[in-house]
Amino acid sequence: MSPSVLKNLKQYFGYDSLRPSQIPVISSILANQDTLAIMPTGGGKSICYQLPSTLLSGLTIVVSPLIALMHDQVESLSKNGINAMYYNSSQSTEEQAEVRGILNEMEKYGHTNWEGSIKMLYTSPERLLANDAQFLNYLKKVPVCLFAIDEAHCVSSWGHDFRPEYSQLGKVKDLFPTIPIIALTATADELTRSDILVKLNLVNPKTFISSFDRPNIHYRVEAKADAYTQLEEFISGFKGQAGIIYCLSRKSTEEVAIKLTKMGIKALPYHASIDGSLKQKAYKQFMDDKVQVIVATIAFGMGIDKPNVRFVIHWNLPKNIESYYQETGRAGRDGLPSEALLLYNAGDSATLRKFIDNGGTAGPMISIKDRDMFRSIQHDKLDRLLEFCQTGHCRRRVLLQYFRESMIKDCGNCDRCTNPPAKIDGTELAQKIMSAIYRTDQRYGVGYIVDILLGVSNDRMVKNGHINLPTFGIGKDLEKQEWMNYVNQLIDLGLVDIKYDGFIKTLSLNEKSKIVLTGGGNTDLVEYKAKIATPAKAKDKKHKDILSADQQIVFNKLRELRKEIATREDVPAFVIFGDAALVDMAQSMPKNKKEFAEISGVGKLKLEKYADEFLEVIIF
């Protein structure tokens, strides 16, 4: 990275280095290239367009579906010395006119010395495209240097957050053919990805997919038994620290919030039928650390931008692994240790299946066939989630494998790694399964492969001539359920691949299967027991404290000061400094302004503004 990139990174954001996944994305934008960046929640997407913007001459337009978040983003940027504004329907006519006034000035005077003017404008797709894209057309008079399309998966009707206005965003490229576009999302599946490239009309786009690993999140799944006691025990380890609890129904958000309040924990419910202004208030109080826990349906979702959420609890089953990963990903965006707890109750899956069949999640579909296919995929995805809950293997391995990312070794930071169930050498079982897949040309799903092993000679099997295969019936010694379980374990471990193509699911072999088939390496599997279905209550210990007792005292004082300043300036506390910065201060105890400038998260403007106050707390 060139020195000017790093200089601006420190000056405006206070960081010394980019994360490895940010580097190629930023280079691509600076090379004027259309770019698609796929990064997990908390991966650091914002800097990917904010930093290049500070290096380019002109205005950056950020398109975001989340009007509620624009204010905080603009606030954060301004505190870092980057002038930003937003333009959306939540503003009064006067406020909107003020923004247009500023843009008019740019039109007249050009836009090179940006520190005196605005650098970034956040807007919604509706605002940009309303009245035949009036505002987008108007922007042609302004020196625009970059378009950033956040939450870009909203263009895809396959995705879970389809927004019809997003599919019109192809007009941006039509009207600004030479201006680079960066599209960003945390949704990884291939269908959505190609939809984004096509619908946004990107020209020779470069796609970058970051690792989806969130190493600071500890995963844990517990059978839901005495749920409120489990909840109380768990939350007691997080005194005063922020958390989100996800529930399936509005009613349970209210019940859980009331219970927590009775336990002396400040909690508020959040769901779609809560009045708008109350919802905003709950959101603000949570952002400002005045409410510790939000108990929410998934309505409290996309883009919760609070960096210091220390835990996420799933009170009910999420609908699939994507949702689970995105929801748990709202914990620990600041990189500090955080927990994800899922309370597993198999009964929830019946409710979820009803949702799917009633079309609750189907979105706008065109034909009955498409609709049925969509539902069938949703059921399969739910099956994968249930397997994740019941797995005996490292949770992170199973999650990452779902996103087609392999781990070299188990993570050591999940309940299964801490309390691993007994394993058996499953090499022979795996070889039998793989050879059945191979001999049937990798064209069948789990059920069919298991039937081959069991030697089930039904019509289809006879017609396909598979009763003559040497693998036919070689697995008669085990029950159907056992084989199904072992095949699923191989999928979870990435030893065989599963492909979804509409209604058809097929198993196929990959590089790792070849190693097993040729006798290389052992395949450890968890022995099938009908009972392993419900995960036991994990007894593993909490994540390690990262601060010593003395450092914790300093940290608490710094947190108080941060709250005081945040109240004074009427912004969320993390806009002043993130928890990671406070932890760094408590650990390295800077003695003067020069040392304070070294703290991660301290940029030029914040150094001037806040160093004295914070140093006073640190030194005394």
- Please report, for residues 6, 49, 318, 403, the alpha-carbon distance to residue 37 in angstroms, rounded to integers and kept in the order given: 20, 10, 25, 15
Residue closer to ligand ADP (CB basis): 336 or 414? 336
Residue closer to ligand ADP (CB basis): 298 or 456? 298
Provide the β-strand partners of residue 293: 243, 267
Residue closer to ligand ADP (CB basis): 39 or 121? 39
Answer with the entry of Zn ion, ligand ADP, none that 394 interacts with (C-beta below 5 to 8 A by kind). Zn ion
Q: Distance between CA atoms of 226 and 224, rounded to whole angstroms?
A: 6
Residue closer to ligand ADP (CB basis): 265 or 571? 571
Residue with tokens 């209550």: 537
Contacts of 202 (CB under 8 A, 6+ apart): 34, 36, 173, 181, 183, 196
Contact flag: residue 411 with Zn ion (CB under 5 A): yes
Phi-psi region of 133 (alpha: psi -120 to 50; beta: other; left: phi over 0): left
- At closest approach, how far in Å is the CB of 16 from ligand ADP? 8
Contact call for residues 51 and 116 (beta carbons, < 8 A): no
Stretch that binds Zn ion, among 93-101, 407-415, 418-426, 543-551 (CB under 5 A): 407-415
Contact flag: residue 414 with Zn ion (CB under 5 A): yes
Near Zn ion by CB under 5 A: residue from 417, 437, 446, 582: 417
Residue closer to ligand ADP (CB basis): 44 or 572? 44
Contact flag: residue 247 with Zn ion (CB under 5 A): no
Rounded to 5°, angle at Cα 507 from 502 and 513: 150
Residue closer to Zn ion (CB basis): 56 or 417? 417
Contact call for residues 464 and 359 (beta carbons, < 8 A): no
Answer with the entry of ligand ADP, Zn ion, none that 554 interacts with (C-beta below 5 to 8 A by kind). none
Q: Distance between CA atoms of 109 and 126, rounded to whole angstroms?
A: 28
Q: Distance between CA atoms of 158 and 618, rounded to whole angstroms?
A: 51
Residues of the shown chain interacting with ligand ADP in the complex, contacts defined by CB under 6 A: 15, 18-19, 22, 39, 41-47, 305, 307, 333-334, 578, 600
Positions in 360-399 near Zn ion (CB under 5 A): 394, 396
Contact call for residues 394 and 416 (beta carbons, < 8 A): yes
Contact flag: residue 139 with Zn ion (CB under 5 A): no
Count interface residues toward Zn ion (CB under 5 A): 6
- At closest approach, how far in Å is the CB of 186 from ligand ADP? 7
Residue closer to Zn ion (CB basis): 253 or 391? 391
Answer with the entry of ligand ADP, Zn ion, none that 18 interacts with (C-beta below 5 to 8 A by kind). ligand ADP
Beta strands in 408-503 (DSSP E): 423-425, 496-501
Residue closer to ligand ADP (CB basis): 111 or 330? 330
- At closest approach, how far in Å is the CB of 400 from Zn ion? 10
Residue closer to ligand ADP (CB basis): 124 or 378? 124
Residue with tokens 């689970």: 324
Strand 243-246 with 311-314, pairing = parallel
Phi-psi region of 237 (alpha: psi -120 to 50; beta: other; left: phi over 0): alpha
Give the residue at shortest CB distance from Zn ion.
394
Q: Which amino acid is at 271?
A: H
Answer with the entry of ligand ADP, Zn ion, none that 604 interacts with (C-beta below 5 to 8 A by kind). none
Answer with the entry of Zn ion, ligand ADP, none that 41 interacts with (C-beta below 5 to 8 A by kind). ligand ADP
Answer with the entry of ligand ADP, Zn ion, none that 578 interacts with (C-beta below 5 to 8 A by kind). ligand ADP
Contact call for residues 54 and 32 (beta carbons, < 8 A): no
Answer with the entry of ligand ADP, Zn ion, none that 284 interacts with (C-beta below 5 to 8 A by kind). none
Residue closer to ligand ADP (CB basis): 155 or 575? 575
- Please report, for residues 132, 194, 353, 440, 505, the alpha-carbon distance to residue 377 in angstroms, rounded to integers and kept in the order given: 36, 18, 12, 23, 10
Answer with the entry of ligand ADP, Zn ion, none that 180 interacts with (C-beta below 5 to 8 A by kind). none
Answer with the entry of ligand ADP, Zn ion, none that 333 interacts with (C-beta below 5 to 8 A by kind). ligand ADP
- At closest approach, how far in Å is the CB of 596 from ligand ADP? 17
Residue closer to ligand ADP (CB basis): 315 or 596? 596
Contact call for residues 283 and 312 (beta carbons, < 8 A): no
- Please report, for residues 312, 337, 416, 418, the alpha-carbon distance to residue 538 in angstroms, rounded to integers and kept in the order given: 16, 18, 8, 9
Q: Distance between CA atoms of 311 and 305, rounded to whole angstroms?
A: 14
Answer with the entry of Zn ion, ligand ADP, none that 43 interacts with (C-beta below 5 to 8 A by kind). ligand ADP
Contacts of 419 (CB under 8 A, 6+ apart): 536, 538, 539, 540
Answer with the entry of Zn ion, ligand ADP, none that 334 interacts with (C-beta below 5 to 8 A by kind). ligand ADP
Q: Which residues bind Zn ion (CB under 5 A)?
A: 394, 396, 410-411, 414, 417
